[in-house]
Amino acid sequence: MAAATNGALVDMKGVTKRYGGVTALDGVDFTVNAGEAVCLAGENGSGKSTLIKILSGVEQPTAGTISINGTERTNLNPRVSAAAGVMVIFQDFSLFPNMSVAENIAFSTQLGQNRTLFDRGHARKLAQSVLERIGVDIALDARVESLPVAHKQLVAICRALASEARLIIMDEPTTALTEREVRSLLAIIRRLKEEGVAVLFVSHKLAEVLEVCEKVFVLRNGKKVAEGPATDFDAASLTRHMTGRDVPEAPPSAVTEGSKTLLDVENLSKDGAFDNVSFALKAGEVLGVSGLLGSGRTSLAKALFGLVEPDSGTIRLDGEAFALGDPIAAASAGIGYVPEDRLTEGLFLTQSIARNIAVGRLDAHEKRGFLDLGALMSEATDWLTRLKVKAPDPQAPVRSLSGGNQQRVALARWLSRAPRVLVLNGPSVGVDVGSKADIHDIIRDLARSGIGVIVISDDLPELLATCHRILVMKAGRVVDEIAGNSVTEDELAHRLAS
């Protein structure tokens, strides 16, 4: 450990950051060498975001020293950090959706050159050369808003490279990617490492990037709790260090013998999305639906809840068909849907936690045309306790909650309506490891109470931990059905990819 600091690209010593009385980082030592990939793991609130902010010059440390390229820097600001080659790729990529790929890639570089005039030819040439450097082909003139998520991420990487990044910090790089996209990202990271560019992954979902990493740092409550070569860690040990406890995931208990069929989907088809999908869901059963991005899993999930109108087929709940393509009909039939993207599809972020839960129950608390606000709110707060939402105040905006707690609020809203079938699209996307296990507990509890649950996910451990059966979709068709307790994660990965 002592020798590693020589020639380090970034070397932080004893870095501490306090916000008022809260210690976000507590005497952390941290080094990254050129051409090295490093994992910085930690749950939400562990101090990893603070560490990125200090490295990128957004925040100043309370104590400790930071050296970049062997020079100690006392007054880092975003411009100085960027000039020293430290680039952060935020989770939202910070791109300009209305501008072309070429301009997005070249913008910061051209800004850094203090140009007055904009040179489109230079922007295109620069963008082309960087795209070639990482070996991807994206149309230079395409508007960024029209690109899939994985390509947006590549554009953000290219932008960092265009301004001669020596260290690229990637915040939650894999949460929005499918397994295949993660593979191609890793291939690019390997290429960058060969060129001497260092990469720092900051995430709570790191198992899948471990293979390209040399080193792992784990933060918990602002302190470094583990450090070592990546080969010493696996998914389980990372989780243990991050949470400070073992989180064993018990597989679901078997569906009660003879429980009746709740949901019956027959020959559901939608041109260009899914084709002739049939399945049945029993009361108390958790059914997984998996497949790569574009396999039709999300369209199918939306079709069950009426957000996508199928061209043909029927959906029956308790033997009764209900109108397709109509979310209100689906909801009143007893189907609930928690979308993948809570932020834009599921929650009213600026509204209070209690209101977010209560909004699904407005009609149930109507008294002679007026709203019984007291009953409505006490029901909402009751659900907060039942789902163990850590909320300082039910009147605080949902935005102020962590990802795991936001997901619980979204769940609580549906549960308060007592649904028969709950469709969960990516139930633990953007949620930290501890909360994830809790959400899986909730899913298993729901099933035990007789609700039919459909989990749409490409997170294999999640599917195995929650599902009795897993349907695999490919190009809009169900191509495989797997019993949850009969496969290991590797086998499942293989059957998904084949």
Q: Is 103 in the site for another protein (CB under 8 A)?
A: yes
Give the count of beta carbons closer than 10 Å to the beta carbon of residue 369.
5
Q: Given the complex with another protein, which of 108 and 184 has the nearer CB atom?
A: 108
Q: Please, what is the minimum distance in Å from the beta carbon of residue 93 to another protein?
A: 8
98 makes contact with another protein (CB under 8 A): yes
Binding mask 260-279 for another protein (x = CB under 8 A): ------------xx------
Residue 35 C-beta: closest distance to another protein, Å: 25
Tell me the C-alpha distance between 310 and 263, whole Å: 16
Contact between 97 and another protein by CB under 8 A: the answer reads yes
Host H or E run for residue 301 = helix 297-304
Using CB under 8 A as the binding rule, whether residue 344 contacts another protein is answered as no
Cβ-based nearer residue to another protein, 308 or 331: 308
Region 59-78 residues binding another protein, contact defined as CB under 8 A: 78
Rounded Cα distance between 439 and 320, Å, is: 30
* Count of residues interacting with another protein (CB under 8 A): 29
Q: Which residues inside 113-132 make contact with another protein, applying CB under 8 A?
A: 115-118
State yes or no: residue 96 binds another protein (CB under 8 A).
Answer: yes
- Cβ proximity to another protein: between 232 and 271 the closer is 271
- Rounded to the nearest 5 degrees, what angle is found at the Cα of 28, between the Cα atoms of 24 and 32? 120
Q: How far apart are CA 31 and CA 200, in angstroms?
A: 10
The C-alpha angle 468, 332, 274, rounded to 5 degrees, equals 55
Interacting residues of 56 by C-beta distance below 8 A, sequence separation 6+: 76, 78, 81, 82, 86, 87, 88, 169
Site for another protein in 382-441 (CB under 8 A): none
Strand order across the 8-19 sheet: 22-33, 8-19, 63-68, 71-73
Nearest approach, Cβ of residue 167 and another protein (Å): 16
| Residue whose C-alpha is closest to residue 41's, from 229, 204, 214 | 204
Binding flag, residue 348, another protein (CB under 8 A): no
Q: What is the rounded CA–CA span in Å between residue 211 and residue 443? A: 31
Which residue lies nearer to another protein by CB, 41 or 102?
102
Residues that bind another protein (CB under 8 A): 78-79, 82, 90, 92, 94-99, 103, 107-108, 110-112, 115-118, 159, 272-273, 298-299, 302, 307-308
